[in-house]
Amino acid sequence: MTTPAPDAAVHVRDLKKSYTVHEKAPGFVGSLRSFVRRRTREVEAVRGVSFDLAPGEVVGFLGPNGAGKTTTLKMLSGLLHPSSGTARVAGFEPRRREAAFLRQITLVMGQKQQLMWDLPAQDSFLVNQAIYEIPEREYRATMREFTDVLGLAGILNKQVRKLSLGERMKCELAAALLHRPRVLFLDEPTIGLDVNMQEAVREFVRDYNERYNATVILTSHYMADVTALARRVLVIDAGGLVFDGDLAGLVERGSGGKTIRLQLRRPAEAAQLARYGTVVEAGGLSAELTVPRAEVSARAARLLTELDVADLTVEDPPIEAVMAELFGHRERTEERREAVVRGG
Ligand SMILES: Nc1ncnc2c1ncn2[C@@H]1O[C@H](COP(=O)(O)OP(=O)(O)OP(=O)(O)O)[C@@H](O)[C@H]1O
């Protein structure tokens, strides 16, 4: 059961992590009480997650806030020790943090920075070159490649504190990938970036994945990142994996129907369109309806024969809508997680 698939880049079985949290009532009296009698409770952040990733696979890791994504990625990169379960990454046990393992992986956290703030990014790159013992030729070749793909020319010699958020993120990525890791853990790499910069980061990750056949686990609240890069998604909720499959399968999971968009030659009233589905938009020559998934073909056929239709398209709901539906209960996540831990 815990034997990794022979070619797995990442092998995870029944991985768990609990945090012990100190509880304190608010205010001065609460502080005094906790000083005398310290109360703790367990929060089960990850509770029995299992999956395998093949070399070169790019996977989106999705879930609401507090679901356990960062905790999982920290365990896989060896920053946190699991409470129980098995993890193997590139053939290594992450918790040992062996030098050979660290050369194979990288963890990029969009909300944290590793570059030295008061120095140019170039200086941090040189530090990483020394840490990872990157030969000069390889270092120069990688720098040329990253400068080209990320458009780093002109920003490498500026103090990091003077870079824009997007420029800094590009440098963070370059620093984190300079040693050409084979497994990438990317935690919100595009957070706060504008649309163009998000696209640049996606392009870079795609290019790196293709060039080095790197395995990538990506968390992002921007669904565009996930749809652009990953075919497979893992969805975690309250510390447990609730979906592992392709994006299309996740969309199918939603009970929401499909969207039919119409271009009409003659305007139709909302009341008339309501016979075919739930009207989202009507009036004039364009209209949008939501129809139950199983009914799409029949309703589309009726629309085409009964109305004067110039064009008709059928679309899946946006992935954001599916996620919102899946996690409509997300405010109860914490309650449930604690109920699980307390055996309630
Ligand atoms: N150091 C810690 N001590 C105690 N509890 C923690 C700690 N780190 C995380 N947690 C708790 O563990 C749970 C999972 O947190 P985690 O950061 O892994 O979630 P996440 O899915 O990455 O969330 P987000 O999308 O908000 O970043 C949350 O309930 C969080 O409050």
Same domain, 272 and 173: no
Residue 328, pLDDT score? 66
- Of 219, 251, 283, the last residue of a domain is 251
Q: Is residue 24 part of a domain?
A: no
Atom 26 (ligand 1): residue with closest C-alpha?
65
Q: Is residue 38 part of a domain?
A: no
Ligand 1 pocket, mutate which of 18, 71, 219, 340 (most atoms under 8 A from CB): 71
Same domain, 64 and 203: yes
Global confidence as pTM:
0.81
Residue 340 has pLDDT above 70, yes or no: no
Give the rounded percent of residues in the chain with a pLDDT score beyond 70: 92
Residue 329, pLDDT score? 55
Average of per-residue pLDDT across 16-36: 80
Same domain, 60 and 179: yes
Q: Is residue 280 part of a domain?
A: yes
Same domain, 174 and 263: no
Same domain, 261 and 240: no
Ligand 1 center from residue 193 Cα (angstroms): 23
User: 311 falls in which pLDDT band (50, 70, 90)?
Assistant: very high
Atom 17 (ligand 1): residue with closest C-alpha?
70
C-alpha separations of 266 from 281, 286, 294, 308 in Å: 15, 10, 28, 6
Q: Is residue 32 part of a domain?
A: no
Q: Which has more pLDDT, 28 or 84?
A: 84
Residue 343 has pLDDT above 50, yes or no: no
Residue 344 has pLDDT above 50, yes or no: no
333 CA closest ligand 1 atom index: 29
| Strands laid side by side in the 258-264 sheet | 278-281, 286-291, 258-264, 309-315
Between CA 181 and CA 106 the distance in angstroms is 6
C-alpha separations of 203 from 149, 155, 217 in Å: 8, 19, 15
Atom 11 (ligand 1): residue with closest C-alpha?
45
In sequence order, what E strands does the chain have?
10-23, 39-53, 58-62, 84-89, 105-109, 183-187, 215-219, 232-237, 240-246, 258-264, 278-281, 286-291, 309-315
Q: Is residue 75 part of a domain?
A: yes
Question: Which residues have CB under 6 Å of ligand 1?
Answer: 19, 21, 43, 45, 63, 65-71, 334
Same domain, 70 and 150: yes
Between CA 192 and CA 195 the distance in angstroms is 9
Q: Give the number of residues written for the chain.
A: 344
Same domain, 201 and 281: no
Give the residue numbers spanning the domain of 192. Answer: 10-15+48-251
Beta-carbon contacts of residue 103 (< 8 Å; ≥ 6 apart): 132, 179, 181
The domain that contains 309 carries what CATH number?
A: 3.30.70.260
Atom 6 (ligand 1): residue with closest C-alpha?
19
Q: Is residue 321 part of a domain?
A: no
Same domain, 90 and 188: yes
Residue 5, pLDDT score? 60
Which helix (H) or strand (E) segment holds residue 149: the answer is helix 136-150
274-285 burial: b if 16+ Cβ within 10 Å, else e: eebbebeebeee
Q: Answer yes or no: are the C-beta atoms of 290 and 258 closer than 8 Å.
A: yes
19 CA closest ligand 1 atom index: 4
- Of 251, 273, 305, the last residue of a domain is 251
Same domain, 302 and 192: no
pLDDT (tens digit per residue) in 223-243: 888 989 998 999 999 999 999
Q: Which has more pLDDT, 214 or 195?
A: 214
Token reading at 77: 């990169």
Average of per-residue pLDDT across 121-137: 95
pLDDT (tens digit per residue) in 1-25: 455 565 789 999 999 999 988 877 7
Same domain, 279 and 239: no
Same domain, 58 and 131: yes
Give the rounded percent of residues in the chain with a pLDDT score beyond 90: 62
Q: Is residue 78 part of a domain?
A: yes
Average of per-residue pLDDT across 196-208: 92
Between CA 209 and CA 182 the distance in angstroms is 9
Atom 28 (ligand 1): residue with closest C-alpha?
66
- Of 217, 236, 251, the last residue of a domain is 251
Same domain, 145 and 128: yes
Q: Which has more pLDDT, 181 or 257?
A: 181
The domain that contains 74 carries what CATH number?
A: 3.40.50.300
Average of per-residue pLDDT across 173-201: 92
ipTM of predicted assembly, 2 dp:
0.96
Q: Is residue 235 part of a domain?
A: yes
Number of domains in the chain: 2
64 CA closest ligand 1 atom index: 25
Residue 341 has pLDDT above 70, yes or no: no
